[in-house]
Amino acid sequence: MATERYNPRDAEPRWQQEWDKNNVYLTDNDDPREKYYVLEMFPYPSGRIHMGHVRNYAMGDVVARYKRARGYNVLHPMGWDAFGMPAENAAMERGVHPASWTYQNIASMKAQLKVMGLSLDWSREFATCDVEYYQRQQYLFLDFLEKGLVYRKQSKVNWDPVDHTVLANEQVIDGRGWRSGALVEQRELTQWFFRITDFSQDLLDSLDTLDQWPEKVRLMQRNWIGRSEGLTIRWEIAGAPASTDEKEVTVYTTRPDTLFGASFLAIAADHPLARQVASGNAEIAEFCDECRRAGTSLAALETAEKKGIDTGIRVRHPLDPSWELPVYVANFVLMDYGTGAIFGCPSGDQRDLDFARKYNLPVVPVVMPKDGDAASFTIGDEAYVGDGVMINSRFLDGLSTEEAFGKVAATLESKEIGGLPQAERKVNFRLRDWGISRQRYWGCPIPVIHCDDCGVVPVPKQDLPVKLPDDVTFDKPGNPLDRHPTWRHVACPQCAKDARRETDTMDTFVDSSWYFTRFTAPWEDKPTDPKVASHWLPVDQYIGGIEHAILHLLYSRFFTRAMKATGHVALDEPFKGLFTQGMVVHETYSRGEGAQREWITPAEIRIEEIEGTRIATHVETGEKIKIGSIEKMSKSKKNVVDPDDIIGSYGADTARFFVLSDSPPDRDVIWSEAGVEGSHRFVQRAWRLISEAAPALKQADARPAKTGAAREISQITHKTLKAVEADYEKLAFNKAVARLYELVNALASPLTQVAAGRADDDTVSAVKDAVTILIHMIAPMMPHLAEECWREIGGNGLIAQSLWPAYDEDLVAENEITLPVQINGKKRADLTIARDADQIAVQSAVLALEAVQAALNGQSPKKIIVVPQRIVNVVV
């Protein structure tokens, strides 16, 4: 009777070979069946996969295998997001070439993924750093350029004055360069931009059509695009220092209703007016410089203390020429948004209020809540930002904020200064154009040539690819393309004179904005085969981290539109269904404090629980280690777990099953060693029960039992099938897992009886049906175990190529239901009654219950609430 334990080290490679041999996961573009495209966000080849990858790809693989079983022609490809900074950092730190570092990483990560037994079409694999890929990206760039979707403009970068290099935001720590420690400066460079703002309105409107996206992602994108309806208002300059010659300042506001609450104007440090004033005033110039030293990150800017300086300029209030207001330069006003100038209404905006208190500017309440008292309404430390009734606003008093908006707009639109209306209604977007220039080597070269005579000349398509030179050095900071002895020198394609290549490369977000399209025909000479791309796209189910909710997804949505405009695809929205998985997080461990703080990996640590307190000890040294907060697994904090260890000891199926089972997939999962054992026990238990009964099951027909004792087996099996189907459709893997546990628990005793030869024919047939269904249900999550069990019970072919079973409606339906009975909202009894019993029948049955009789104590109930199929509540 005793069967051997299931040995994944033997079974898993065996089945992987079998799948490969039969080309089970190769996808044919000409297959006539309905298509289904499932894609997980491709990984950055950092060198090792981590548990986040395992979770991500396990989820995608369940969807792929499930959809395949449902009869779809499934596309499930994989590739590598291979350009980016870490390769250059490795080159600087260890002297490895970015290309060899990257390709080695890809090789080892691919080997790790292979071991997971994912149903991927590896024939379509590519890395974005493959010349074949970035050549087509350059082709797209040229098409976009021709179409007017790309342009150059001045834009700021973080400049490290010691290393003479451009820094990424993450390389700026507290305003200093991460390596040099020098105070970062902002520098203006001419850079390349994609005109994503051409599509602002469409990108916003189309969010409504993405009904298979999480609402929170749509909301985040909506806020990011940030459409607002407001007014640009021109303010006449009444007096100014000698260094300025402007006559007016234009501000953008979404709250013209609060105009009578204005107490100052604030402009950005880069506003032309600020520059003029600064040229004649050292103190203001110093303040503007200080603003520029903050780096370019918005988060850094806005968390900084709000500061300003009076420019000496005075402007006239648009609705009262005798009222003059001061103009400040303020560090929280952005040149990129609106007009780079605002008017401050302290009573209606918290930031303005803080600013006003700091610089002793007047605070006049102009909006109060509807039921407020105008005489006593004041503003303390908190601004009133809501809607309400206008006060202290002359001709607007008593109006609603909305009415006041309209009235101010109408008044100022009809008023003219210098022959032009003083105000204009304006729709504004927060979204900015996408700057793609990077002053770095390891990225896709921007295919243009700078000629002194012809200006900016696109590289002719027949000259593509513009290949990255291999012979580069990283001994110095800065862009190796810039200092390469020959690479940048090239003849102008137009006049053949000496010219220079563009040395900027593209943002890696460009690479990831169309890889899903390339997967549909990665062998094409052109970027895509438009017919094939439009057949496969949109991606039916895209799965990835919530951290990409805005940028990657928005850029991809733009890129698809741009590719449509240039004839490469025939659709706007690349991702029909989106699922954002939670991250894998882990405790952090460290020793030392402050700058001496050193992070320790979980592998180096032993955790013990002593009297309810968890204590971490360094395995080698025996030193006590501080247990820190739970954070996203990252290299810098070293709180990573190596999936190889898990797969090595338990097998891929256990690892896959575990990451799917513990937490809801859209929530963060805290990795813990405990629990893997449980998943593994389930694998062994399922194997043992099935393989022991297999000899008896092999001979039997699979037939659900409609009557008799075996009916119960068939009922729970078919109910589980129905539920698991629904769970897989919703990607609720953790619930599917729970139901499978329940089913196996229920089948344990029948299986044991079958194995012992103590079951009648009907039971054996019902059990065979149950086991067949069970194997199909576990196959998407644990494909190797499923194949092994399938073979054991004498199944035909591969489970990976079998169709999903259908549940039997009869067995799923319930004739009787048990209703909970509440008295005054508290559960006091149960009532079992026919499923189709009407209200009256339910009511009288309830009143007959002992518990209800006791509670009523002879009186009649106040009310009986019967929620059909759900609950009964008796109000006494």
Partner RNA sequence: GCGGACGUGGCGAAACUGGUAGACGCAAGGGACUUAAAAUCCCUCGGCCUUAGGCUAUACGGGUUCGAUCCCCGUCGUCCGCACCA
| 832 lies in the binding site for RNA (CB under 7 A) | no
| 855 lies in the binding site for RNA (CB under 7 A) | no
**Spatial CB neighbours of 677, under 8 Å, sequence gap ≥ 6:** none
Report d(CA 730, CA 712) in Å as an integer: 27
Stretch that binds RNA, among 90-98, 267-275, 291-299, 699-707 (CB under 7 A): 291-299
Judged by CB under 7 A, the chain residues 583 through 622 that form the site for RNA are 583
Question: In this chain, which of 675, 708, 794, 797 binds RNA, going by CB under 7 A?
Answer: 675
Stretch that binds RNA, among 459-467, 697-705, 729-737, 753-761 (CB under 7 A): 729-737
Report d(CA 289, CA 284) in Å as an integer: 9
Query: H helices within 252-297, ranges in order?
Result: 272-279, 282-292
Question: In this chain, which of 661, 714, 763, 802 binds RNA, going by CB under 7 A?
Answer: 661
Judged by CB under 7 A, the chain residues 391 through 410 that form the site for RNA are none
| 565 lies in the binding site for RNA (CB under 7 A) | no
Q: 794 near 698, Cβ under 8 Å?
A: yes
**Closest CB to RNA among residues 21, 862:** 862
Quick one: three-class SS letters along 658-727? HHHHCCCCCCCEECCCCCHHHHHHHHHHHHHHHHHHHHHHHHCCCCCCCCCCCHHHHHHHHHHHHHHHHH
**Closest CB to RNA among residues 278, 821:** 821
**Closest CB to RNA among residues 196, 451:** 196
Report d(CA 366, CA 445) in Å as an integer: 55
Judged by CB under 7 A, the chain residues 748 through 787 that form the site for RNA are 748
Question: In this chain, which of 1, 299, 375, 840 binds RNA, going by CB under 7 A?
Answer: 299
Report d(CA 63, CA 74) in Å as an integer: 10
Q: 784 near 814, Cβ under 8 Å?
A: no
**Closest CB to RNA among residues 25, 728:** 728
| 219 lies in the binding site for RNA (CB under 7 A) | yes
| 1 lies in the binding site for RNA (CB under 7 A) | no
| 542 lies in the binding site for RNA (CB under 7 A) | no
* Other beta carbons less than 10 A from residue 677's beta carbon: 12
Nearest to 221 by CA among 509, 40, 431: 431
To RNA, the closest distance from the beta carbon of 688 in angstroms equals 7
Question: Binding-site residue total for RNA (CB under 7 A)?
Answer: 97
DSSP 8-state assignment for residue 320: E
Question: In this chain, which of 552, 618, 706, 722 binds RNA, going by CB under 7 A?
Answer: 552
Nearest to 505 by CA among 455, 436, 558, 551: 436
Rounded (10°) angle between helices 676-699 and 761-778: 140
**Closest CB to RNA among residues 132, 742:** 742
**Closest CB to RNA among residues 431, 451:** 431
Question: In this chain, which of 53, 438, 576, 719 binds RNA, going by CB under 7 A?
Answer: 438
**Closest CB to RNA among residues 277, 510:** 510
Residue 230 main-chain phi, psi, to 5 deg: -150, -155
Question: In this chain, which of 4, 174, 208, 215 binds RNA, going by CB under 7 A?
Answer: 215
Nearest to 60 by CA among 44, 48, 45, 43: 43
Stretch that binds RNA, among 143-151, 277-285, 474-482, 676-684 (CB under 7 A): 676-684
Q: 438 near 165, Cβ under 8 Å?
A: no
**Closest CB to RNA among residues 639, 765:** 639
Burial of 90 (0-12, 13-18, 19+ CB in 10 A): buried
**Closest CB to RNA among residues 122, 224:** 224
Q: Print the binding letters for residues 447-486 with RNA: x by CB under 7 A, - otherwise.
A: ----------------------------------------
Report d(CA 193, CA 432) in Å as an integer: 10
Nearest to 86 by CA among 479, 598, 599, 442: 442
Joined tokens for residue 223 = 């806020």
| 531 lies in the binding site for RNA (CB under 7 A) | no
Question: In this chain, which of 632, 703, 706, 791 binds RNA, going by CB under 7 A?
Answer: 632
| 431 lies in the binding site for RNA (CB under 7 A) | yes
**Closest CB to RNA among residues 103, 741:** 741
Q: Print the binding letters for residues 302-341 with RNA: x by CB under 7 A, - otherwise.
A: xx--------------------------------------
DSSP 8-state assignment for residue 124: G
**Closest CB to RNA among residues 19, 434:** 434
Stretch that binds RNA, among 65-73, 338-346, 425-433, 708-716 (CB under 7 A): 425-433
Amino acid, res. 189: L
Report d(CA 870, CA 94) in Å as an integer: 66
Question: In this chain, which of 430, 500, 703, 722 binds RNA, going by CB under 7 A?
Answer: 430
To RNA, the closest distance from the beta carbon of 61 in angstroms equals 20
Joined tokens for residue 659 = 């990451």
Question: In this chain, which of 13, 24, 48, 86 binds RNA, going by CB under 7 A?
Answer: 86
Q: 258 near 367, Cβ under 8 Å?
A: yes
**Spatial CB neighbours of 483, under 8 Å, sequence gap ≥ 6:** 476
Burial of 488 (0-12, 13-18, 19+ CB in 10 A): middle
Question: In this chain, which of 735, 768, 776, 784 binds RNA, going by CB under 7 A?
Answer: 735
Nearest to 342 by CA among 246, 223, 244, 230: 230
| 192 lies in the binding site for RNA (CB under 7 A) | no
Q: 768 near 793, Cβ under 8 Å?
A: yes
Nearest to 83 by CA among 54, 46, 120, 109: 46
Q: Print the binding letters for residues 249-288 with RNA: x by CB under 7 A, - otherwise.
A: ----------------------------------------
| 734 lies in the binding site for RNA (CB under 7 A) | yes
| 662 lies in the binding site for RNA (CB under 7 A) | yes
Report d(CA 234, CA 251) in Å as an integer: 7
Judged by CB under 7 A, the chain residues 172 through 191 that form the site for RNA are 189, 191
The secondary structure of the chain in percent helix, strand, coil, rounded to multiples of 5, reads 40, 25, 35
| 839 lies in the binding site for RNA (CB under 7 A) | no
Question: In this chain, which of 7, 23, 123, 223 binds RNA, going by CB under 7 A?
Answer: 223
**Closest CB to RNA among residues 24, 183:** 183
| 871 lies in the binding site for RNA (CB under 7 A) | yes
Question: In this chain, which of 27, 105, 135, 158 binds RNA, going by CB under 7 A?
Answer: 158
**Closest CB to RNA among residues 237, 551:** 551
To RNA, the closest distance from the beta carbon of 810 in angstroms equals 19
Judged by CB under 7 A, the chain residues 339 through 358 that form the site for RNA are 350-351
Q: 545 near 583, Cβ under 8 Å?
A: yes
Return the SS3 of 262: coil
Question: In this chain, which of 1, 496, 674, 840 binds RNA, going by CB under 7 A?
Answer: 674
Q: Print the binding letters for residues 485-504 with RNA: x by CB under 7 A, - otherwise.
A: --------------------
